[in-house]
Amino acid sequence: MKIINTAFLTSVSALSGLPEETFPEIVFSGRSNVGKSTLLNSLVGVKGLAKTSATPGKTRLINYFVVNHEVFFVDLPGYGYAAVGHAEKAAWGELLSSYILQRRSIALVVLLFDSRHPAMQSDRAMVEFLEFHERPYGIVLTKDDKLTQKQRVQTRRIMESCAAKAKFIVNYSSFSGKGKSELLAHFDHYIR
Ligand SMILES: Nc1nc2c(ncn2[C@@H]2O[C@H](COP(=O)(O)OP(=O)(O)O)[C@@H](O)[C@H]2O)c(=O)[nH]1
Ligand SMILES: [Mg+2]
């Protein structure tokens, strides 16, 4: 897809306030600080649309963006941030899993993993959850600009073994734009 138009729709903090399922959704999920907000801004080409935060773990909202008047991009709260307590982590996990199970209009879940630390425990748990519930998902390996070629090959090998049902694995750098057109091309299969 080519992104022509993006508008912020709304932020919600609880499953009770979700917007109507007007459009198919592409949902973005990943650990706090993985580079999700930066990726969303780079994808849609609007700096500052999704807020990048200096304080990881502070984004607890589900943010909706309407893209091309035909699809929602949904920014889910980051998971796995070390500095929050167990109870809070459990509450976020609950919100994430309930959202993914309940929301019928989800067309694709995009899991963002940090290229340098792929398949951490909470990432593997997300993959298992999505595979168990047979939800279509793809993987974006963020911050590719920080990798050596050797690390890149290793990371890909790890991902291919632990995320067997991923529809795609894309190496991405929000700084260089690497992976952007590849990722947008994958989205075409899920929005119509
Ligand atoms: N080197 C590099 N750093 C990135 C990239 N994308 C994001 N970052 C940095 O990673 C940090 C977290 O980014 P942010 O988008 O706020 O992460 P979020 O918590 O997942 O939304 C920031 O310091 C970004 O500048 C990237 O493609 N390459
Ligand atoms: Mg963010």
Q: Count of domains in the chain?
A: 1
The answer to whether residue 92 sits within a structural domain is yes
Asked, for residue 120, whether it belongs to a domain, the answer is yes
- At residue 131, the 3 state secondary structure works out as helix
* Residue 50's CATH number: 3.40.50.300
User: Ligand 1: does its nearest atom lie under 6 Å from the Cβ of 56?
Assistant: yes
Predicted confidence (pLDDT) per residue in 17-51, tens digit: 999 999 999 999 999 899 999 999 999 988 778 77
Q: How does the average pLDDT of the chain come out, rounded?
A: 90
Regarding the beta carbon of 173 and ligand 1, being less than 6 Å apart is answered yes
Using a 6 Å cutoff on CB, does residue 155 contact ligand 1? no
List of residues 6+ apart from 183 with CB closer than 8 A: 43, 110, 140, 168, 170, 172
Answer whether residue 117 is part of any domain: yes
CA of 160 to the centre of ligand 2 (A): 26
The answer to whether the CB of 186 falls within 8 A of the CB of 166 is no
pLDDT band, residue 12 (cuts 50/70/90): very high
Give the residue, by CA position, lying nearest to ligand 1 atom 10: 35
Measured from the alpha carbon of residue 147, the closest ligand is 1
Contact call for residues 26 and 108 (beta carbons, < 8 A): yes
- Say how far residue 57 (Cα) sits from the centre of its chain: 15
Residue bearing the CA closest to ligand 1, atom 16 = 52
Range of the domain at 164: 6-13+21-187
44 Cβ partners below 8 Å, 6+ apart?
3, 6, 65, 67, 73
Residue 109 lies in a domain: yes
* In a domain? residue 192: no
Is residue 34 one of the residues assigned to a domain? Answer: yes
- Look at the block and give the residue holding tokens 């919100």: 95
